[in-house]
Each structure stands twice: as C-alpha cells, then as structure tokens.
C-alpha cells in the first residue's frame, strides 16, 4: 500500500510538471512582457507598449464629447463636455457640430497617441537590437478604427528583423476592448432627434439595449448633458447639446 501511494504521488507530480511546462510554453511571451522583460514577438511588444496609452486617451475623449481639447463646451462637474449639437439662440433647434463623429474621434485618437507611438517604436528597435537582431524600421501611416466591441489601431510600418533568418512585418496592430463604436452610434441617433425636435426620448434606447444606461442632465441655460454608459463593461461617453432653449423664467 505504501509503494502504491508513492507511485500515485509521483504520477501526480509528473502531471503537474507537464501541465506547467505547457502553460509556460503557451504564455511565456506574454508573461515576459508583463514583467517588463524583453520579448522576441514584435506584435506582443507593441500591444503591451501602446495599450495603456490608447485606453487612457479614449477615456479622456469619451468624458469630453469626443475631443481632446474642446472649444465649444459646457463645464459640468469640472469636466469640459463638448457641444455636439448647439445653438446660442432661444427657440431654435441646434446644429450638428460633429456630423462625422466616428471619424472625428478616430482622428483625435491618432493625433494624441503619435508621440507615444514614436517612443514605443524606438523601444522596440532597442529591444530587438539587444537580442542580437539587425533591425530595419521605416515608420508609416497609423490607422485608427472604431469597431463593434473594440478599437483597432494599426501601424503600417516596414519592419524587418534579421538574425539567422529575416522576418518582415508590414503592420503591427493594437486592439483595445471598448464599446465606443456602439456608444457613438447611439449618440448620433440622439443628436439627430435634438437637431430635429429639440429633445430626445432616451428610454427607447434602454428598452432596446438592455446593457445601456442613458442619463439626461438638464441645465438652467437650456443645455442637456447626456451620459451613455455600458452597464456590463463600464464604458462611458458623455456630450452636451443645446437645442430649442427657453429664456430664463419661461418653461
């Protein structure tokens, strides 16, 4: 019985060692980068280097109506929230300020992450040179696209790594999980109602999208602050509108 128990223990230990070996083989590149250690996978390197910067940029844009430096805005709880539909007059429907909102946000992200992109590409070069690679890197276009459930950022750089063999990469990409695509689509629908009717009925969106929360914060000057939140992920987009406003004292 004692020998059988020892054999069973050895078998269990062997299984654990094999399982750990498989896990290390599958996830070691990610573990390396997460610990700040160099990696020989340029795609993993750029994802880890850029993801936090893109996420932070998107958070700021989403809290300010889609612009990093809003010009026409309403100050709400110390945040500059851009007017996406606006009129300075009374009794008049608002005019759309960003009719191509999705494209505008994509351009804002692209512009804001440019410096970090250069730093990450420089770090990538140094990383692979320290691993003994000859590195040829020509910087190209950056493409940002809001897609369902994610944000895609593609760096179309010509990268060649040469050691024993040559590896060529035409593109490196970063994916950030975020519902900004869906939130901006709903924002556009609300803005169309604001521009046409001077107000919007937000319950229809929450009845249709059960994971969506829409808040309307009416202000004394006729401004409405809209706050759209994905209940499951916590992603948020907020913006301002001023349409068919009434003079003070008239309701």
Which tens digits make up the pLDDT trace of 17-55?
Answer: 776 666 654 554 444 444 344 468 999 999 999 999 999
> How far, in Å, CA of 29 to CA of 31, rounded?
5
pLDDT of 6: 59
pTM above threshold 0.95: no
**Residue 117, both tokens:** 């992109």
Of 119, 184, 113, nearest to 143 by C-alpha is 113
**Residue 238, both tokens:** 């907020």
The per-residue pLDDT for range 96-140, each reduced to its tens digit, is 999 999 999 999 999 999 999 999 999 999 999 999 999 999 989
Query: Percent of the chain beyond pLDDT 70?
Result: 85
pLDDT of 164: 84
The set of long-range contacts for 164-168, using a CB threshold of 8 Å and a minimum separation of 24, is: none
**Residue 101 has what DSSP assignment?**
H
> How far, in Å, CA of 189 to CA of 201, rounded?
11
**Residue 222, both tokens:** 């006729």
Spatial neighbors of 133 by CB under 8 A, at least 6 apart, are 161, 162, 163
């Amino acid at each position: 019985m004692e020998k059988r128990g020892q054999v069973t223990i050895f078998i269990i230990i062997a299984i654990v060692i094999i399982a750990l070996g498989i896990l290390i083989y599958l996830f070691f590149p990610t573990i390396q980068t997460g610990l700040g250690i160099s990696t020989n996978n340029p795609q993993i390197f750029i994802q880890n280097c850029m993801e936090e910067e893109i996420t932070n940029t998107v958070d700021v844009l989403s809290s300010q109506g889609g612009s990093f430096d809003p010009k026409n805005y309403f100050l709400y709880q110390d945040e500059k929230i851009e007017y996406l539909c606006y009129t300075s007059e009374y009794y008049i429907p608002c005019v759309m300020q960003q009719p191509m909102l999705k494209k505008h946000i994509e351009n804002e992200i692209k512009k804001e992450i440019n410096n970090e992109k250069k730093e990450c590409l420089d770090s990538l070069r140094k990383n692979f040179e320290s691993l003994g690679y000859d590195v040829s890197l020509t910087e190209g276009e950056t493409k940002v696209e809001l897609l369902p459930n994610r944000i895609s950022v593609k760096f179309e750089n010509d990268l060649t790594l040469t050691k024993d063999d040559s590896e060529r990469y035409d593109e490196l990409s970063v994916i950030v999980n975020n519902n900004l695509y869906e939130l901006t689509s709903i924002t556009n629908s609300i803005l169309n109602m604001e521009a046409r009717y001077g107000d919007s009925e937000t319950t229809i969106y929450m009845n249709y999208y059960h994971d969506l929360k829409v808040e309307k914060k009416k202000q004394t000057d006729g401004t409405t602050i809209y706050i759209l939140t994905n209940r499951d992920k916590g992603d948020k987009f907020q913006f301002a509108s001023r349409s068919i406003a009434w003079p003070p004292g008239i309701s």
